[in-house]
Structure 1
Amino acid sequence: MPEPYPSVWTRPQRPRREQPPLSREQIVSAAFDLLDAEGLDALSMRRLGTRLNAGATSVYTHVANKDELIELVVDRVYGEVEPPAADDPAGWYAAVARYAHSLRATVLRHPWIASVLSETGVAYLGPNVIRQNEAVLAAFEQGGFSLEAADLALNVVVAYVIGRSSAEAAWLAKLARSGQDEREWAARLWPAAEQAVREHPRLRELYAARRGQDPVAGRDAEFADGLDCVLGGLAARFSGAAQPRRS
């Protein structure tokens, strides 16, 4: 019989023997704060031990390695996402849309997460991720999706949100390192961008139409429009009747 997968989610927490006692929750909280303040490159077990006034050995008592620690912190981030409410009176479409917008906003608040989502092992076993997935599946079932279709729809929505918001988060992190805000960057870039597409009529038309627009509002609108396409397609494919688009 194969050995069970060594997961941080199924391993019992060890008793606290340190003086003062150190808990897994304290470790996760300190790692969360360090990642938000300084990014992924700053996170190490030694650095974390120093932040907690404990040795790296004390940290390893509670998590086997850095990968497990990141799984725990990622699940804490997912705890900020608002899951769909059960039997939302606004309907499944609006409930899933709000969830998607909340997931995007959470990723943008913690841009370092974009670098680790593809490397977080079995983070999908974390309690916050499980709770959200159950709620999203229920929302799709409310819309007439079978459980199998709801599972596919959940994966499609999450793939869209994470794909878009991860790219946004990486971009915003780069902007932050440059010391510019998004509007300053856009104003400086437009002349070069328009010069680059001068021989490409479709791109030239698009760039000309967007010149002077607020780039932040533009990102928000593009995300919302794309989400409408995703949910509208899922509705047409699985729920039997497309739902109204957002107003």
Structure 2
Amino acid sequence: MPTRARRTQRRNQVLSREQIIDTAIDLLDTGGEGALTVRAMTDRLATGSGAIYYHVGNRDELLDTATETVITAALATKPARAAASPEDEIRAVALALFDAIAAHQWLATRLTLQIIRNPVGPVTVGIFERLGQQVGALGVPQPRWFDAASTLVHYILGAVSQNARVEGDTSGIDPDADREEFFDAASAAWQALDPEDYPFMHAIVGQIREHDDREQFLTGIAVVLDGLTNLR
């Protein structure tokens, strides 16, 4: 009669680490961090909690691993052109991160936490290395490399987080609100402001309805790149 240890070993061999991570990402995509529970994982995978802990550790480690998996895939993105310039490389990385966070709305919070909590982890190091190499290729002096790369990272994280789900206190935020309705309401409210006190807000009222988040993001990258080239 097989022992419990042998049964556990066979089950661990059948259930792969990749299956666990893929399932965790699917749960996160469906319901955010609140949906990622050991109970949900064991139900989805038809296994015991021991198999999950065996492969990926506890829930926090699973969140970190899911984040690392998505970000590593995004960082592997290459520019469309074969003979890519440093600017092309930076835009490719920035857009890959933008698209990853748009596709996985839980990711913005976890990505920020990883960069803060684990500066030597693969997520932080991977992002800074991929962007930093291109900062050097742009001709930025080496003493300014950290400042330049940090500026890029801060802009990317800040910009993409505006389009992502905010974990934590979301009082007053409707996660199912229609984007067009939101901007219509915002532009109407801005239009109602006194034009003498708020001339700038009145000037951009029409633009808020028409803007594209991805194109706006690329405009910000262009502004940052222009500034970095001046550091030469």
Question: TM-score under structure 2 normalisation?
Answer: 0.77
Cα distance change, pair 90–23 in 1 and its aligned pair in 2 (3 A): closer
CA distance in 2 between partners of 1:107 and 1:78 (Å): 9
Alignment-derived partner of residue 26 in structure 2: 33
- Segments of 5+ residues of structure 1 without an aligned counterpart are 1-15, 241-247
Counterpart position of 1:17: 9
Aligned counterpart, 1:77: 70
Q: Is the 8 A contact 1:100 1:161 kept in 2?
A: yes
**Match of residue 165 from structure 2:** 170
**2:108 is matched with which residue?**
114
Give 1:119-130 correspondences, 5 Å limit.
119-120=113-114, 121-122=117-118, 125-126=121-122, 130=125
Three-state SS of the structure 2 residue aligned to 1:170 is coil
Unaligned runs of 5+ in 2: 1-7
- Listed one character per residue, the Cα deviations across residues 87-139 of structure 1 (whole Å, up to 9, x for unaligned) are x734212221222122111111111112222333438523x764554333332
1:171-214 C-alpha deviation (Å, 9 max, x unpaired): 8x966523x2x223323443233224556332442343426x42
Q: TM-score, normalised by structure 1?
A: 0.73
| 2:152 is the counterpart of 1:160 | no
Select 1:205's aligned residue among 202, 205, 210. 202
Distance 1:136 1:201, change over 3 A: closer
Aligned mates of 1:160, 1:189 — CA distance in 2: 23
1:195 aligns with 2:192: yes
One-letter identity of the residue aligned with 2:225: L
**26-35 vs 148-157, greater mean Cα deviation:** 148-157
1:60-100 CA-partner distances (Å, limit 9, x unpaired): 12233211111110011113324557xx7342122212221
After superposition, the Cα gap between the structure-2 partners of 1:208 and 1:28, relative to the gap in structure 1 and judged at 3 Å, is: closer
Letter aligned with residue 102 of structure 1: A
Aligned residue pairs total 215
Q: CA deviation at 1:164?
A: 0.8
**Pairwise CA RMSD:** 3.0
Residue 33 (structure 1) shift: 1.0
Q: 2:210 aligns with which of 203, 207, 214?
A: 214
**Residues 68 and 197 of structure 1: is their aligned pair in 2 closer, same or farther, counting only changes over 3 Å?**
farther
Q: Distance in 1 between matches of 2:78 and 2:55?
A: 32
Richer in helix (by share) = 2
Match of 2:97 among 91, 94, 103: 103
Native 8 Å contact 1:194 1:207 kept in 2: no
Q: Between the two proteins, what is the percent identity of the paired residues?
A: 23
| CA distance 1:69–1:197, change in 2 (3 Å) | farther
| AA aligned opposite 2:31 | E
> In the superposition, relative to structure 1, how do residues 34 and 202 fare at CA in structure 2: closer, same or farther (>3 Å)?
same
Q: Of 44, 50, 58, which residue of structure 2 is paired with 1:57?
A: 50
Matched, 1:142 2:137: yes
1:84 and 1:96 in contact (8 A); partners too: no
Note closer, same or farther for the CA distance 1:224–1:89 as it changes in structure 2 (3 Å cut): same
